[in-house]
């Protein structure tokens, strides 16, 4: 059996209001376009989540809102406050409670970059993988029966992309 994880860092957020609470920052225009492009990219490759585990921050929710229209079906969306600025151990704990075969997780740096690095057996050749910039998306497969079995170094990379590469 195989489980697939689509791991996405939120798209570019707005810093127009420096007094705004970090949790409430929206996407900027570039972020909105990147989220829509990411949805089209995922759909074109058949990377379609059945379940979405999303930080409850506005920018992660808006990233999902930008991605979703391009995808067929309606995955189960679960807003997870624990994913807001979560570290790798928390992210793995949340993932281990997933139930679908293909799961998308949308979160934040620096935790998501370290989470991605620790999950994969071999990092993709893309030099941006270590940084995991806004909108970066990893698609990785696990040879496991249940997400409860997921652990460090177990994922095989299928794909990795950043928004700048989608626009090229």
- Domains, the chain: 3-12+22-167 (3.40.50.1240)
Structure-token pair, residue 130:
């270590």
Return mean pLDDT, the chain.
Answer: 95
pLDDT of residue 161: 97
pLDDT tens across 120-149, in order?
999 999 999 999 999 999 999 999 999 999
**Can you list the pairs that 142-150 forms with residues at least 24 positions away whose Cβ atoms lie under 8 Å?**
142/2, 142/3, 142/4, 142/5, 143/1, 143/2, 144/1, 144/2, 144/3, 145/1, 146/3, 147/3, 147/95, 147/96, 147/97, 147/98, 147/99, 147/103, 148/96, 150/3, 150/92, 150/95, 150/96, 150/119
pLDDT band at 167 (very low <50, low <70, confident <90, very high): low
């Amino acid at each position: 059996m195989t489980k697939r994880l689509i791991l996405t860092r939120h798209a570019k957020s707005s810093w127009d209001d420096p007094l705004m609470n970090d949790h409430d920052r929206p996407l900027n225009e570039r972020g909105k376009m990147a989220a829509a492009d990411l949805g089209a990219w995922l759909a074109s490759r058949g990377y379609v989540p059945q379940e979405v585990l999303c930080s409850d921050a506005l920018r992660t929710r808006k990233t999902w809102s930008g991605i979703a229209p391009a995808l067929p079906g309606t995955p189960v969306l679960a807003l997870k406050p624990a994913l807001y600025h979560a570290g790798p151990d928390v992210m793995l704990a949340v993932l281990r409670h997933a139930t679908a075969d293909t799961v998308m997780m949308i979160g934040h740096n620096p935790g998501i970059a370290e989470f991605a690095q620790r999950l994969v057996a071999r990092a993709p050749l893309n030099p941006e993988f270590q940084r995991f910039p806004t909108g970066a998306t990893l698609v990785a497969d696990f040879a496991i029966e249940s997400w409860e079995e997921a652990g460090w170094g177990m994922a095989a990379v299928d794909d990795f992309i950043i928004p700048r590469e989608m626009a090229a």
